[in-house]
Amino acid sequence: MLLTGISLRLGQPERELVRICEKKLRGPCLYFKILKKSLDARDKRDIRWVYTVECDRRARKEPPRVYPKIAGPSPRVIIAGAGPAGLFCAIRLLRHGIRPLIVERGKRVEERAADIEAFFRTGVLDPKSNVQFGEGGAGTFSDGKLNTQTNSPLNREVLDLFLEFGAPEEIGYLGKPHIGSDNLRRIIAAMRGYILANGGEIRFSTVLDDVEVKEGKPVAVWLNGERTECDHLVLAVGHSARDTFEMLFSRGFSMEQKEFAVGVRIEHLQEEIGRAQYGERFRELPAADYRLVSHAQERAAFTFCMCPGGVVIPSASEAGGVVTNGMSNFARDGQNANSALVVQVRRQDFGGEHPLAGVAFQRKLERAAFEAGGGDYRAPVQLTGDFLEGRESSRFEGVLPTYARGTSFAPMQAIFPPELVAAMQSALLDLGNKLHGFAAPESVLTGVESRTSSPLRVLRGDDLQAVGKAGVYPCGEGCGYAGGITSAAADGLRVAAAISRKYIKE
């Protein structure tokens, strides 16, 4: 029996749900499963948890997902990138009987975490091991959000695989699931163990230097200068793999510009966000989040990657550039809340027809932020009130920045083009009317948030293969086909299924 719209008041135990099921079933409940749980805070005087549950008087055992096996020996599949797209592609291939090789320019997640901490502390950047590059991809050092705006049937498989490798049970039913950066590191290590134990191979600190194509098909790749033959190549690189995109362009891959968004990180006190969202009972609830959109100007603006109880982290992957991102652990128990506040960047903003023009635009902002911050990976910051008034800040007023490398006061007007500044100012005022305190003068803006999504797309056909390059599969967020952990992982599963179908006998 499926029951929807069951609500519990704050403080009511979830075991009450079983009692409600037994009443509906008119007997004992031997099978019970929460399918969805979300918070209804529209009336702050009567906040409730709302559930969809499945129950039965008979015990049930859910059947395992079946993966048909390929016929014959395993083809040589090389996956470039060990982010969500690459890892999930590899796991799905293994379950079909295909043993892939993953190549990742960065390091294992444990070593990568140490390199990142060293960068935060010293300002010495490793361009191959950082927040952008390494096992798990950029999402490993984020909030680990798993909600997505796509409706792919593969999204459920993504959640189930995360659960299989140790994710918190609640991600299977929460309306806004998140794993947390601390849990993600453990889960990714477990995925690596599975891939290696089942015949897959992973090479870290290995760069995809070149692709050798003959008669429109890949025959080999060059890895750290050495030639390796392959039957299929999956391009699961992240959107910061700028040198890889330059190489692909030089090798005649069809690519196009893609619009994206840039802006700043905005920080508030978490308790103020909680009070604005839930009223005075906010302490009885999980750390409050928000997702806001503004159309105050023709150029849309929105919040992105909101991190309750999190920190703003240094996320550069190139020398001489400052990049910010947000990160939360599973508990979300930090003092500040932060999110990206970004505005649309259009093709005319970065000009020209070259597919990599958007990369150049991002890089220009990152270098301007580096200079404004002092040239040592400190980030430029400005209070929201001063930004709106067009003046430089001189002291903090209650909200302290969490950016680990330190900050320098600098006006965002010196970093961003005037049209983007105007769009951010209009958005702040508009969003302040939608969420009380969002545009509070003491909130802190940290620049720059430049890596929200890929500024290009490597074109592929309906068969998921690169246009004119049979056997090469552009995949995931970096190649322009996803927008977050879940959609990138789902695209990895989709590509794995497409490759496997070539070898499975009906």
The pLDDT of 262-287, averaged and rounded, is 97
- What was the pLDDT predicted at 351? 82
Q: Are 324 and 379 in contact (CB under 8 A)?
A: yes
- What was the pLDDT predicted at 101? 98
Cα(4)–Cα(130) distance, integer angstroms: 44
Amino acid at 61: K
**pTM, two decimal places:** 0.96
Going from N- to C-terminal start, the domains of the chain cover: 2-56, 77-256+456-501, 259-449
- What was the pLDDT predicted at 149? 84
- What was the pLDDT predicted at 117? 97
Cα(307)–Cα(328) distance, integer angstroms: 6
Q: For 237-262, write each residue's pLDDT tens digit.
A: 999 999 999 999 999 999 999 999 99
| Residue-averaged pLDDT of the chain | 96
Name every residue whose Cβ is closer than 8 Å to that of residue 232 and which is 6 or more positions away in sequence: 75, 76, 77, 78, 218, 471, 472, 473, 499
Share of the chain above pLDDT 70, in %: 100
Q: For 108-144, write each residue's pLDDT tens digit.
A: 999 999 999 999 999 999 999 999 999 999 999 999 9
Domains 2-56 and 77-256+456-501 share a fold: no
Cα(49)–Cα(259) distance, integer angstroms: 38
Cα(505)–Cα(70) distance, integer angstroms: 7
Q: Which fold has domain 2-56?
A: Alpha-Beta Plaits (3.30.70)
The pLDDT of 4-22, averaged and rounded, is 96
Q: Which fold has domain 77-256+456-501?
A: FAD/NAD(P)-binding domain (3.50.50)
HSE-up (13 A, CA, CB side) for residue 291: 7
Q: For 411-457, write each residue's pLDDT tens digit.
A: 999 999 999 999 999 999 999 999 999 999 999 999 999 999 999 99
- What was the pLDDT predicted at 353? 87
Cα(480)–Cα(313) distance, integer angstroms: 24
Name every residue whose Cβ is closer than 8 Å to that of residue 373 and which is 6 or more positions away in sequence: 322, 379, 380, 407, 408, 410
Return the HEC string of 125-182: CCCCCCCCCCCCCHHHHCCCECCCCCCCCHHHHHHHHHHHCCCCHHHHCECCCECCHH
Pairing label, strands 301-307, 293-294: antiparallel
- What was the pLDDT predicted at 150? 87
pLDDT band at 160 (very low <50, low <70, confident <90, very high): very high
The pLDDT of 196-225, averaged and rounded, is 96
The pLDDT of 266-293, averaged and rounded, is 97
